[in-house]
A = this chain, B = another copy of it.
C-alpha cells in the first residue's frame, strides 16, 4: 500500500470537512443534482474522448496508484546475482524451481525463457515489447486522469451557470440571491475538489509509479539477459549498478 496516497487523500478530506464544519454544517454541501452534473458530465465527456476499454480501465489504473508494489532495486540486484551464481554452477535448468517462487509475472516469464534456453537477443526483444506495452498503458491511464482533472472543473462551471440562470430568472428581490447562489456555487466546489485533491495528484502519482516500474523492469531485463549470457555474479552486479542511483545506493557495495 502506498502510504503517501492514502494519507494525502484521507487528510485532505479531513481538512476540507473540518473547514466546512467550523463554518456550518455538512448538509448544505450535499446536493444530488450538483453531483450528477459535475461527475456525470465529466464521465460522459471522458467516454466521448477515449474508447470504451480505455474508459473502463480507469478503475484498475486508480487501484494501481493506491495498492502499488514496485520491486526494491537493491533486492532485485541481490536476486539476480544469486541466480547468476546458480546458473554458472548448476546450469539453467536449476533455476526452474526459482521461477515458481517469483510473484512478479514479468520476472518469472523472463527467467523461464532463460530456463528454456532462449537466446539473449530473443529474450531482450520479447521483454522490450512487454515494457513498451506497459508504458503505453500507463501513458493512457495518465492522460485519462489528467483529462478528468480538466473536465471536472469545466462541468462544475457548467453546473454553476445552470444554477445561476435558473436562480436569476426566478429572482423577485435581491434578498433571494443568497440561497440560490450558494446552491449554484456547489458544483464549482465539487469540480475544484475533484481536480485538485483527486485526479490531478493521482495523475502525478501514476507518472511516478510508471517511471519506477519501468526502471525495475529494465533492471530485470538487463539482469535476465546477463544471466542468459552466462555472466558471473560480479559482472551482473556491475551492470545493474547504473539503475541503483534512483534508490538507496549504500546497500549494495559499489565496485569500480
Contacts and interface: CB of A to CB of B under 8 A. Distances in A.
A118 interface: yes
**How many copies of the chain does the oligomer comprise?**
5
Nearest to A197: B45
A105 interface: no
A194 to B, nearest CB: 11
Contact of A197 (B2, B44, B169, B202): B44
B256 A126 contact: yes
Given A40-B11, A179-B171, A196-B45, A164 B185 contact: yes
Contact of A205 (B23, B29, B49, B249): B49
Nearest to A68: B51
A197 B158 CA distance: 10
Contacts of A227: none
Given A48-B4, A169-B24, A169-B178, A161 B192 contact: yes
A129 B98 CA distance: 32
The range of chain A's interface size is 35 or more
A67 interface: no
Interface in A148-205: 151, 154-155, 157-159, 161-175, 177-179, 181-182, 185-186, 188-189, 192-193, 195-197, 200-202, 204-205
A136 interface: yes
Contacts of A8: 44-49
Interface in A48-64: 48-52, 55
Interface stretch (A14-22, A75-83, A89-97, A218-226): A14-22
